[in-house]
Structure 1
Amino acid sequence: MTYHALIHSSALETLLNLEHTYAVANGDVINHRENARKNLEDKQHQEMESAMQGLGVTHTDEQVNTLAQKHFDSTQKLEVQWDHEVCNLQTTQRDEYREWVRQVHQDMEHSNGNRTTIQRIRAMSDAVDKGSDDNNEPEEQPRLEESFTIHLGAQMKTMHNIRLMRAHPLDLCRHKPNKIGGTKPQRLQTALSLYSNTLCGLVLLVDNRVNAYTGIKRDFSSACQQSTDFHFPALQDQFSSIQEDLVRANSCRMARQAAREEEEENGSNGSADSEKSKSKSFSDLNRLQAGDFYITRHSNLAEVHVVFHLVADDSLRSTNINARNPTILGLRSILKVACRHDILTLTVPLLLVHEMGEEMTVQWCLKRAELIFKCIKGFMMEMASWGGTESRTIQFMVPEGISDEMFHQFSNMLPQIFRVSTPLDLSKAK
Structure 2
Amino acid sequence: MPQTEIPARILRKRKFIFTLGYPNSPEIAFDIEIPIPPFTDFTTLFGNLVHKTNLPYACFDAARSQLQEFILKETRSYEDDIADSSVLDFLHEDGPSSEFDYDQKFRMDSGMTPDVTPHFDEDFKELMKVGRTEELLKLIRLESEMNFSLAQKLEQRDAELKKLRAECEDAVERTKETSDLEEHSYNLSVLNDKLQLTEANYCNQIKALTERNRSEFIRAVGILKENGNLPNENCNKKSVPLNKPKFVEHPPVLDESFTIYIGNQLKSMHNARLLQYRSLDEFCHDRSMESMDRTVYESSRLNSLINLYRRDLKAAVMLVDRDPLYHMHTQTEFFKLCEKSVELHFDPIDVQLQKIAGTISTLNKSQRHPPSNQRCFDSMDTRLHGDHDLFRPGDVVFHLVTDQHWDKIDLTSRHPYINGLRNCIRLASKNAVRTLALPLFLNKDVTESQPLAFYQGRADLLLKCIKGFLIEVCSTGASNANCAAFNERSMHYNIIFGVPETLGPKIFEATVDTILQVFHLVPTVNV
What TM-score do you get using the length of structure 1 for normalisation? Answer: 0.80
Correspondence for 1:395: 496
| Structure 2 residue 434 is the aligned partner of structure 1 residue 333 | no
> CA contact under 8 A between 1:162 and 1:394: conserved in structure 2?
yes
CA distance in 1, matches of 2:123, 2:386: 22
Deviation for aligned residue 1:395: 0.9
CA distance in 2, matches of 1:290, 1:140: 41
CA distance in 1, matches of 2:292, 2:299: 16
The residue identity in structure 2 corresponding to 1:171 is E
Matches within 5 A, 1:162-201: 162-167=272-277, 168-174=279-285, 177=290, 181-182=294-295, 183=297, 187-201=301-315
Listed one character per residue, the Cα deviations across residues 21-74 of structure 1 (whole Å, up to 9, x for unaligned) are 22222222222222222222222222222222x1xx4343x6665555444433
CA distance in 1, matches of 2:237, 2:272: 41
Listed one character per residue, the Cα deviations across residues 315-351 of structure 1 (whole Å, up to 9, x for unaligned) are 5221531111101111011111111110111111111
Correspondence for 2:29: none
| Structure 2 residue 352 is the aligned partner of structure 1 residue 238 | yes
Q: Which moved more, 1:303-312 or 1:64-73?
A: 64-73
For 2:246, which of 137, 143, 150 is the aligned residue? 137
Greater C-alpha Rg = 2
Matches within 5 A, 1:280-295: 289=379, 292-295=382-385
> CA contact under 8 A between 1:373 and 1:417: conserved in structure 2?
yes
Correspondence for 1:17: 141
SS in 1 for 2:235: helix
CA distance in 2, matches of 1:244, 1:222: 22
For 1:221, which of 304, 321, 335 is the aligned residue? 335
For 2:270, which of 160, 185, 191 is the aligned residue? 160
Q: Which moved more, 1:84-93 or 1:3-12?
A: 3-12
Correspondence for 1:274: none
- The alpha-carbon distance between structure 1 residues 364 and 413, as it changes in their structure 2 partners (threshold 3 A), is same
> CA contact under 8 A between 2:272 and 2:496: conserved in structure 1?
yes
For 2:516, which of 415, 419, 425 is the aligned residue? 415
CA distance in 2, matches of 1:411, 1:154: 22
CA distance in 1, matches of 2:161, 2:506: 41
- The alpha-carbon distance between structure 1 residues 253 and 300, as it changes in their structure 2 partners (threshold 3 A), is same
Correspondence for 1:266: none
| Structure 2 residue 452 is the aligned partner of structure 1 residue 362 | yes
| Structure 2 residue 434 is the aligned partner of structure 1 residue 344 | yes
- The alpha-carbon distance between structure 1 residues 131 and 249, as it changes in their structure 2 partners (threshold 3 A), is closer
CA distance in 2, matches of 1:75, 1:210: 25
The residue identity in structure 2 corresponding to 1:382 is E
Specify which structure has the bigger relative contact order, considering alpha-carbon pairs within 8 angstroms and separated by 6 or more residues: 1
Deviation for aligned residue 1:361: 4.3
CA distance in 2, matches of 1:153, 1:147: 19
SS in 1 for 2:413: coil
Listed one character per residue, the Cα deviations across residues 179-225 of structure 1 (whole Å, up to 9, x for unaligned) are 9634177655432211111111111111122213344x633221111
Listed one character per residue, the Cα deviations across residues 375-399 of structure 1 (whole Å, up to 9, x for unaligned) are 1112112123432631001111122
CA distance in 2, matches of 1:99, 1:153: 48
CA distance in 2, matches of 1:213, 1:225: 10
> CA contact under 8 A between 2:245 and 2:290: conserved in structure 1?
no
Name the count of aligned residue pairs: 384
Deviation for aligned residue 1:120: 2.5
CA distance in 1, matches of 2:496, 2:169: 43
Deviation for aligned residue 1:165: 1.6
> CA contact under 8 A between 1:291 and 1:310: conserved in structure 2?
no
CA distance in 1, matches of 2:503, 2:458: 14
CA distance in 1, matches of 2:189, 2:391: 37
Deviation for aligned residue 1:162: 0.7
Listed one character per residue, the Cα deviations across residues 272-321 of structure 1 (whole Å, up to 9, x for unaligned) are xxxxxxxxxxxx98x56585112211112242111111111245221531
Matches within 5 A, 1:83-122: 83-108=203-228, 117-118=229-230, 120=232
The residue identity in structure 2 corresponding to 1:130 is P
> CA contact under 8 A between 1:336 and 1:386: conserved in structure 2?
no
- The alpha-carbon distance between structure 1 residues 180 and 66, as it changes in their structure 2 partners (threshold 3 A), is farther
| Structure 2 residue 128 is the aligned partner of structure 1 residue 7 | yes
CA distance in 1, matches of 2:239, 2:505: 44
Correspondence for 2:179: 58
CA distance in 2, matches of 1:43, 1:303: 40
Listed one character per residue, the Cα deviations across residues 3-36 of structure 1 (whole Å, up to 9, x for unaligned) are 1233343233222222222222222222222222
> CA contact under 8 A between 1:351 and 1:372: conserved in structure 2?
yes
Deviation for aligned residue 1:244: 2.6
The residue identity in structure 1 corresponding to 2:505 is D
Deviation for aligned residue 1:246: 2.0
SS in 2 for 1:203: strand
CA distance in 2, matches of 1:194, 1:66: 53
- Unaligned segments of structure 1, at least 5 residues: 109-116, 262-283
The residue identity in structure 2 corresponding to 1:48 is V
The residue identity in structure 2 corresponding to 1:6 is L
Deviation for aligned residue 1:372: 1.3
> CA contact under 8 A between 2:447 and 2:503: conserved in structure 1?
no
* Amino-acid identity (%): 24
